[in-house]
Structure 1
Amino acid sequence: MTATGKTIAVQVKTTVSGTYIRETDTSLEYLCEPEDVEYWRNWTIPVIVVMVRLSDQSMYWKSVREAGPPDGRRLTVDKALDVLGATAVDALADLAVDTDRFGIWMPPLRGGEPVHLNLLRIELPTTVFTAASPLRDGRDARAELLRHDPSPPDEWVLRNGTLVAFRDPRASSLMHVIDADTVEEEPVGTFAFPDEEGEEHRFIELLGRALRTQLDGCLSFDRDQGAYYFPPAPMGIAVTYSYQSLKQVTSADVVKVYKDRKDEGKIHYVRHHGFVPRFWRIGDAWYLSITSTFVFTRDGIKPDRFASERLAKKRQLEKNQAILGQFVMWRHLLCGLGAKPTDDLFGSESVSGPIRLLPVEAVQSPRSVPERQWRTRDPASKTSGQEEFSL
């Protein structure tokens, strides 16, 4: 057998049983869908339709170029001449074209699909507070705050003697670093959508501080990656998180212990699900992007000295479906989808803080994107020592 480099596009139509249109002992007809015909006409290589009937294992083929009325949709099959088998080789070879010639083009797959953006929309408060400060920057202000409060608030920024906060600074220990008579409440748009890049960076810093405060007590923070991640369980290490995926209720081992292969009583390392946040201003709205990652520790707390190597290996294995599944999990957690009021990080006034995170609807793509080997494993499957990553 030799490769010829000739190409044919094949569309397979399968039925379990039953008869085709006008089927007899010697012939049958197949009526193509109008959208299929329109799609095939855009191809510059020949397209054949293969009709498969599972009940009698019959297979017939016909070139779409031979389709007749109505509108070039009707294929007439001769059961003796159009059987898909060894006798069809010559006819298919005559129909095929060389792929090394110019002008060969295959259109994108039709029948669009939803595209899920790794974004959450940020719902901002209506106002912010500003106040003059005798201190020049945040470092000096924090040193002063710690003299009055061992756990001072963090949802504020101070630059060039002006403090900006989502909450009234007079109601907290921030009163020690401002001139209370200068406090003003202003529309949030004044600071959220400035013309100057430096002012925009100040608002991003304020958003980051607000997010950090709202996640405090729920997620830990890894400074090396700039990532939030699931901490170990108080009475143990492993944590399983249940959430609503795109199709069903599922769960993920968001903190998982991997034992030493030689000593089951010894922890080899611990893997934590995490994400790197980034704020984006798009038009007249702010968004938080979620980039999934993993944090590795020795025992759930202490950093793992091989963390960078484990993370690099993990990223090589991760495919689209696994990454999408992780984003859906983070969206469920951060937006409080289906959560009880006490578990909703951003949904109720008592725990939400000044900002609220909302899901972004999927965008419908007009064309499908081919999925190639999107299934993947997580560094401990049967072949690599780890188990299948479940979505």
Structure 2
Amino acid sequence: MSKRITDSQLIGEIGESAAKTRFLNIGFQFDGRSRLEAGIDGIAEIMNDGTPLAKMIAVQVKATDKAKYSNETDEGFTYLLQAEDLHYWRTSNLPVILVLYRRSDDSFYWKEIPDAFSVEERKLVFDKNADLLNHQAADSIAQLTVSKAGHGYYVPPLGGGEDALVNMLPIKLPNEIFVASTPYSPKQAMAILLDKDEPPRFDWAIKGRTFWSFHDPRKECTAQIVDFDQVEAIETSTIAYHDEIDEQHNFSFLLKQVLRHQFKQDLGWNKERKIFYFLAEAENQNRAFRYRSSVNRAEADVVNVVKDRKEDHRVSFVRHHAFSARFELLLDQWFLIISPTYHFTTNGFIPHSYPAALLAGKKRLDNNASLRGQVIMWHRLLSGSEVPKDDLFGSHHSGEKYLDFGSPPSVSLPTTVPEQAWVSAKPKKVPETQDDLLEGL
């Protein structure tokens, strides 16, 4: 019997050759492997203007002649990974991408194989617009070589430069801070204030029987938790710029409590996720915020009621613009570091039971432009330069403005940063502090 090359072998060879040509046209090097390959067809090397960068990506090519993909529509399709392939890829010391090639329409799609992908959940979802393997995908593929541990390193992409907005707002602190002795622990002081008839306030900190606040406790309800004759006003810089890291942490806690109090009429606090979010004004009702963006005036639906697609009268969930806040002392300047995110409720007030899935879906749609807009929006609110749509008299904060926020700094970058290259480190769990005692209020 004569030897015969099967159609499957032939289309496989055609697919690998076509993929190599496509990577070369994009500007990457591509080296195919030997016949002994077990799930990696080639290695793509990132190049910048023809200069190899020694940043490698493992590529597996799956080719077909004209067959349709699973669940294929005009928008996308799904692809089920083989369990043995997934086991093999998970041991790789290189990022791995899957490239799908169809000869009938000369289409190329690509997708990263996530590290945390489980064998039980091994279905990839492809978007026919977002996942095309072309010149526009070069930056996204290059960013896969960025280290996810520590500060990592940056792979220069193939595009031009851009201006980057840093999500840090410089803080102008009050000139003086009030210090007093107290016989109470934070938990005891909190119980005393909650037990009284007048509205309590918690924009203070207690550490080692010493009370700190930017307001004069002798004139407020906090007079009940301090030694009245021991209250003293001192320069804020004495405490704010202390060399000891524990003292800086205590001051950071005070700043967060003051922020919560200053914007309590507009911003809620989610204890579990430790985020600030726009409060709803009424059940199942949108809320808009008008502000000036980089150039023009803009309006954002900061509380957005999302209806069920099948039953328009039924509310599926309510999405709130939100941010996580971190206070940092850098070179004798305190900053508020803002990380935009979202909070989800069922009707504007009751927390949603499954917010993680909703958040993941929304985050996938966010890009550099939308995040930039959110940072600008939060600056406008916190700085008081803009007021909410229905708040013409500026009553959106408590009336006491102890913290002033400057504009986020802008830096000019020589090259465009890939959209997904910015990753945040997973926060470390910290031991219980007075923060945990008060943040749930």
8 Å CA contact retained: 1:275, 1:290: yes
Which residue, 369, 372, 375 being the options, matches 2:416? 369
8 Å CA contact retained: 1:335, 1:344: no
Q: Distance in 2 between matches of 1:312 and 1:358?
A: 31
Alignment of 1:132 with 2:132, yes or no, is no
Once the two structures are TM-superposed, the CA of residue 148 in structure 1 deviates from its matched residue by 3.5
- DSSP 3-state at the match of 1:321: helix
Which residue, 156, 163, 182 being the options, matches 1:114? 163
Q: Which moved more, 1:245-254 or 1:273-282?
A: 245-254
Q: Distance in 2 between matches of 1:305 and 1:152?
A: 30
Alignment of 1:251 with 2:307, yes or no, is no
What whole-Å deviation, never above 9, does each CA across 1:8-51 have from its counterpart, x for those lacking one? 98xxxxxxxxxxxxxxxxxxxxxxxxxxxxxxxx9667xxxxxx
Alignment of 1:144 with 2:192, yes or no, is yes
Which residue, 327, 331, 343 being the options, matches 2:394? 343
- DSSP 3-state at the match of 1:313: helix
- DSSP 3-state at the match of 1:359: coil
Which residue, 278, 292, 308 being the options, matches 1:230? 278
CA RMSD in angstroms, aligned pairs only? 2.9
Once the two structures are TM-superposed, the CA of residue 318 in structure 1 deviates from its matched residue by 1.8
Aligned twin of 2:226: 178
Which residue, 189, 207, 210 being the options, matches 2:255? 207
Aligned twin of 2:362: 314
Which residue, 316, 320, 339 being the options, matches 1:291? 339
Q: 1:139 corresponds to which letter in structure 2?
A: K
Once the two structures are TM-superposed, the CA of residue 358 in structure 1 deviates from its matched residue by 1.4
Aligned twin of 1:385: none
8 Å CA contact retained: 2:178, 2:216: yes
Once the two structures are TM-superposed, the CA of residue 172 in structure 1 deviates from its matched residue by 1.3
What whole-Å deviation, never above 9, does each CA across 1:318-371 have from its counterpart, x for those lacking one? 22111111111111111123559832767xxx8242111111331222x02156
Q: Which moved more, 1:202-211 or 1:221-230?
A: 221-230
Q: 1:261 corresponds to which letter in structure 2?
A: R
Q: Distance in 1 between matches of 2:392 and 2:307?
A: 36
Q: Which moved more, 1:139-148 or 1:303-312?
A: 139-148
Q: Distance in 2 between matches of 1:201 and 1:167?
A: 20
What whole-Å deviation, never above 9, does each CA across 1:132-176 have from its counterpart, x for those lacking one? 1122x1111122233434422212111221111111111112222
8 Å CA contact retained: 2:269, 2:275: yes
Alignment of 1:123 with 2:172, yes or no, is yes
Which residue, 314, 319, 322 being the options, matches 1:271? 319
Q: 2:304 corresponds to which letter in structure 1?
A: K
Which has the larger Rg? Answer: 1
- DSSP 3-state at the match of 1:175: helix
What whole-Å deviation, never above 9, does each CA across 1:232-280 have from its counterpart, x for those lacking one? 2337511122221122212222111121223222111111111111101
Aligned twin of 2:406: 358
8 Å CA contact retained: 1:336, 1:344: no
Structure 1: which 5+ runs fail to align?
10-41, 46-105, 375-391
TM-score normalised by length of structure 1: 0.64
Q: Identity over aligned residues, as a percent? A: 32
Question: Against the structure 1 CA distance between its residues 297 and 108, is the aligned structure 2 distance closer, same or farther, given a 3 Å change threshold?
Answer: closer
- DSSP 3-state at the match of 1:302: coil
8 Å CA contact retained: 1:149, 1:173: no
- DSSP 3-state at the match of 2:279: coil
Once the two structures are TM-superposed, the CA of residue 127 in structure 1 deviates from its matched residue by 1.0
Q: How many residues align?
A: 277
- DSSP 3-state at the match of 1:328: helix
Q: 1:268 corresponds to which letter in structure 2?
A: S
Q: Distance in 2 between matches of 1:307 and 1:357?
A: 30
| Residue correspondence of structure 1 range 183-194 to structure 2 within 5 A | 183-194=231-242
Q: Distance in 1 between matches of 2:276 and 2:353?
A: 19
Q: Distance in 1 between matches of 2:267 and 2:258?
A: 14
TM-score normalised by length of structure 2: 0.57
Question: Against the structure 1 CA distance between its residues 220 and 370, is the aligned structure 2 distance closer, same or farther, given a 3 Å change threshold?
Answer: closer
- DSSP 3-state at the match of 1:217: coil
Question: Against the structure 1 CA distance between its residues 196 and 149, is the aligned structure 2 distance closer, same or farther, given a 3 Å change threshold?
Answer: farther
8 Å CA contact retained: 1:43, 1:107: no
Q: Distance in 1 between matches of 2:415 and 2:395?
A: 35
Alignment of 1:217 with 2:268, yes or no, is no
